[in-house]
Each structure stands twice: as C-alpha cells, then as structure tokens.
Amino acid sequence: MTTMGAKAREEKAEGRTRRTAPESKYVLRLYVTGTTLRSVRAIRTIKKICEEHLSGRYTLEVIDIYQQPVLAKGEQIIAVPTLVKKLPLPLRRFVGDMSDVDKVLMGLDVRPKG
C-alpha cells in the first residue's frame, strides 16, 4: 500500500494533477510540391510554429512529392501542401499553406503562448 504525500493530496483535493510525464514528442511530415509559393509558405509557417510552440520536442520531415512520389502515395496524399501529424496520436492531416496558425495549433493540440 502506498501513501500519498500531503502536497499530492492537496492537489488531488483541489482537482489539480501534477504533470509527471515529459511533454509529448511531435513527429510531423510536410508534403510539398517543389518550390511553389504555397509550398515555400507552408514550410516557413510550420517551421515557425514548431520553433515557437514545440521547441526541442519535434521532428519535421519535409517531403517534396516530385522527388519522392512513393512516399506521397503511401500516405495517400491527394493535395499539397499537406502536414501529417504522426505523433502524438491521433494522426491528423492539415491541407493548405498553414497560414491559419490558430487552426494549426488547435489541430496539433497545442495552446498558443500568451
């Protein structure tokens, strides 16, 4: 039988939980088509979002479907740019140039810094 410390009991009674696990690691893939304006904008925007909100806890792989069409086919990518959030689950897809930062943050389950 384990006993709960006074601080833990106090937090439990107040409905708070202590965060003991490290924050989630994000695994992201961004599918683009060469250096089109939309692709460049999507790359720039998602890199900025990652650095500002996920710093040190993400990997981002940018895949040009012209150079690696097999990867796009395997992921069933039908529109680009498309961002695929592999981890943490659930898997999510975002289509477009990622210019709606609030929508991307909400989809990634990340709260904006404020």
CATH code where residue 65 lies: 3.40.30.10
Residue 8 counted as domain residue: no
Strand partners, 83: 30, 94
Residue 7 counted as domain residue: no
Residue 2 counted as domain residue: no
Residue 64 counted as domain residue: yes
Residues 6+ apart with CB under 8 A from 17: 11
Mean pLDDT across 51-76 = 96
- On the question of pLDDT at 93 being above 60, the answer is yes
How many folded domains does the chain comprise?
1
Residue 12 counted as domain residue: no
Residue 11 counted as domain residue: no
Three-class SS of residue 82?
strand
Residues of the chain with pLDDT > 70, as a percent, come to 78
User: Distance between terminal CA atoms of the chain?
Assistant: 42
Residue 14 counted as domain residue: no
Per the structure, the complete domain to which residue 27 belongs is given by: 23-107
10 compared with 114, residue with greater pLDDT: 114
Mean pLDDT across 23-37 = 95
Mean pLDDT across 63-75 = 95
30 compared with 97, residue with greater pLDDT: 30
Residue 9 counted as domain residue: no
Task: Give backbone dihedrals phi and psi of 110, rounded to 5 degrees, phi first.
Answer: -115, 135
- pTM, rounded to two decimals: 0.77
